[in-house]
Structure 1
Amino acid sequence: MFRRSLLGAAALASLTTLVAPVTAQAQAWKNFPDKPIKLVIAFPAGGPTDITMRSLADNAAKVLGHPVIIENKPGAGGTLPAQALQTAQPDGYTIAQIPLGVFRLGYTTKINWDPIKDISYVINVTGYAFGVVVPTNSPFKTWADFVAYAKANPGKLTYGSTGTLTSPHLTTEIIAQQAGIELQHVPYKGSADLMLAVVSGQLMAAVDSTGFAPQVEAGKLRVLNTWGEKRLPKFPDAPTLKELGYDIVQNSPFGIGAPRGTPPEVVKRLHDAFKKAMEEPSYVATLAKYDMLPDYKSTADYTKFAQDTVAREKAIIEKLGLAKPQ
């Protein structure tokens, strides 16, 4: 009996040793966050993404009780924040914007991580309103003029985007393929540099989100088309791609991800805070300045969206002949 008592005591002590850290960890997650959170975004300061995400972060900070600090990490087609998650601690204190380009990364370059398995998808928040713009002194008054010049001058019509293999770049290449034209692509790191290049005449055209609106309203740029389901109220004279005969709608949804292995309790806390932040009138108003709309997807729905998009992007990359050599 004495031996059985000793064994029982030892087993109980062992169980207590195992349970204590779990309980402490659960308590720690219950108190999350207890310090500032870093949100890494894929584009430079001052552009539509930066401005709208700062509004969202400010709202989320009020819910979380601690600051959400923006870190801009532009370049590499918007995929640097997702790559940063691969070396971050899975504790919820480093999160990142996940642009659509992340889902095609594995097909275009060699990476040692998986965009599905190695990111915890938290919440989808919005998407962009895109269009093609040219300087107001351009001879291209309509999209038909643009296409006619490109057909007569293969490879000579230059256009810029916010990066190689971004949604604006790839969608333009799909449009060009369908139109039977060849264009010359020039990548930039963000909207500010891109707009400067097209306004100054360094480029013949630019493809971007409607961060170009101030330049259009100032009479410096003209919109040839937009890429949504319907015409944008801000640019009622600009036809959609569908109106021009292309069966294309592109709004490039994006959301927020965390490192793989982030505890579900932390993911839920982040999801709930950013969902509430999305519903604040101040965020909706900031989005509206750039013709963007809230586009909520829950953690489960956003994860499913990521899985479906990876499969879809593979077909696009292969169609354009941009897949990396095996």
Structure 2
Amino acid sequence: MKMKKKMIWIISILLLSVIVAGCSSQGSSQPAKQEAPYPTKQIELVVPAGPGGLTDLTARLVADFVSKKWKQPVLVINKPGAGNVTGLQYGLMQGRPDGYTAVADNIAASVLMVAGMKNPPIKLEDRIFVSKFVDNPMCFSVAADSPFKDMKELVEWIKQNPEKLTHSSLSTISMNALTAAELCKAIGVDYKKTQPILVQSGSAGITMIAGGHAILGDQSVQETYPLAAGGKLRVLAVASKERSPLFPDVPTCQELGINIDVTWYGGISLPKGTPDYIVKKWDQTIAEIEQDPEFINKMKEMHGNASYLNTADYNNSIKEQVEQYTELFDSMGVRQ
């Protein structure tokens, strides 16, 4: 009898231990994975273009302000070539997803590449679009001695003579080609009848217009401003919803009844797989510096606009534009 009672006592203790252990297990969770301190060393900001352009200049400005905030050096590295692909591959495909390699991305290297190519070498899903930090509207210009005094005169002439319209373009899927195509679509002209002239750089294209070697300039306001300020170009319209501070007296296309909005922009991208907390830190920091009056003024000195979109809005905008411009490039017959 005593032995039986002893066995019952032992079994009861064991059962109680199991129950307590189970309750303890259900009542606690695994400790959260500790986020590594970031940043603790130098960061590389890759520019997929050469020095001196708006992508490079604004990337250096962002690098300077981020470096001051984080108290770590942010080194800008230029990797031009192959239509932005060289820099994108270096920064997004070869760079580790640890936050120490970022890319100064732009619409040409993302939206236009994906919309204009059936099998782009760098796809949207190959990167994390963090936030937008700059934009720069496109505009239409002619040589200072051009017979076209305003946009209305030029549009009427294009409608009657689309095959005589010459305009510069970096490639068949460049911002220049997109801007000209959007104009043609808005005024009911077949873009395929026009005469794009391929150039090696934006500066070469705008110089061609100023010299009278092509009729229509379709560059950004930043590229157009120096020759316009020097009296070599006449700016007829800005292809965005709002007037440009560089050309306050020049109407927008929408003011003239031409429904287009074409704007170059740049932002920060990170390699896919980068931890969320690092993505959020970049986004929050870009948001902060976009409110800094010194940053805004320095951006204006470069003839760019400080323009912020957070991660969610930036990604939504990119997806919408890819759909829109894929359809446009298909209609142009240039989608590769």
The answer, yes or no, to whether TM exceeds 0.5 is yes
Name the CA distance, whole Å, in 2 between partners of 1:188 and 1:72. Answer: 21
The corresponding residue for 1:4 is none
**Aligned: 1:197 with 2:208:** yes
Q: 2:311 aligns with which of 293, 299, 306?
A: 299
Letter in 2 for 1:130: M
User: Are the aligned partners of 1:210 and 1:290 in contact in 2 as well (CA < 8 Å)?
Assistant: no
Deviations 1:115-154 (A, max 9, x none): 3322112111121122112221222222233334434544
Name the CA distance, whole Å, in 2 between partners of 1:53 and 1:186. Answer: 29
User: Are the aligned partners of 2:113 and 2:120 in contact in 1 as well (CA < 8 Å)?
Assistant: no
Name the CA distance, whole Å, in 2 between partners of 1:248 and 1:287. Answer: 25
User: Are the aligned partners of 1:75 and 1:163 in contact in 2 as well (CA < 8 Å)?
Assistant: no
- Please give the secondary structure, in 2, of the residue aligned with 1:30: coil
Change (3 A) 1:144 1:228: same
RMSD of the alignment, in Å?
Answer: 3.0
Q: 2:60 aligns with which of 54, 57, 70?
A: 54
**Aligned: 1:68 with 2:80:** no
The correspondence of residues 139-178 of structure 1 with structure 2, limited to 5 A, is 139-178=147-186
Q: 1:251 aligns with which of 263, 286, 297?
A: 263
User: Are the aligned partners of 1:176 and 1:183 in contact in 2 as well (CA < 8 Å)?
Assistant: no
The corresponding residue for 2:294 is 282
- Please give the secondary structure, in 1, of the residue aligned with 2:197: strand
Name the CA distance, whole Å, in 1 between partners of 2:173 and 2:252. Answer: 22
- Please give the secondary structure, in 1, of the residue aligned with 2:140: strand
Deviations 1:142-187 (A, max 9, x none): 2233334434544333212454323332131121233326422234
**Aligned: 1:88 with 2:91:** no
Name the CA distance, whole Å, in 2 between partners of 1:96 and 1:254. Answer: 10
The corresponding residue for 1:271 is 283
Letter in 1 for 2:210: V
Alpha-carbon distance, 1:291 to partner: 5.3
What's the TM-score once normalised by structure 2's chain length?
A: 0.77
Alpha-carbon distance, 1:262 to partner: 1.0
What's the TM-score once normalised by structure 1's chain length?
A: 0.79
Name the CA distance, whole Å, in 2 between partners of 1:196 and 1:311. Answer: 33
Count of aligned positions: 301
Change (3 A) 1:279 1:250: same
Change (3 A) 1:106 1:185: same
Deviations 1:261-287 (A, max 9, x none): 112222223223333332332321133
Q: Which piece of structure 1 moves more, 88-97 or 194-203?
A: 194-203
Identity of matched residues, %:
28
Change (3 A) 1:260 1:175: same
Change (3 A) 1:257 1:76: same
Change (3 A) 1:51 1:30: same
Alpha-carbon distance, 1:80 to partner: 5.0
- Please give the secondary structure, in 2, of the residue aligned with 1:205: coil
**Larger radius of gyration, structure 1 or 2?**
2
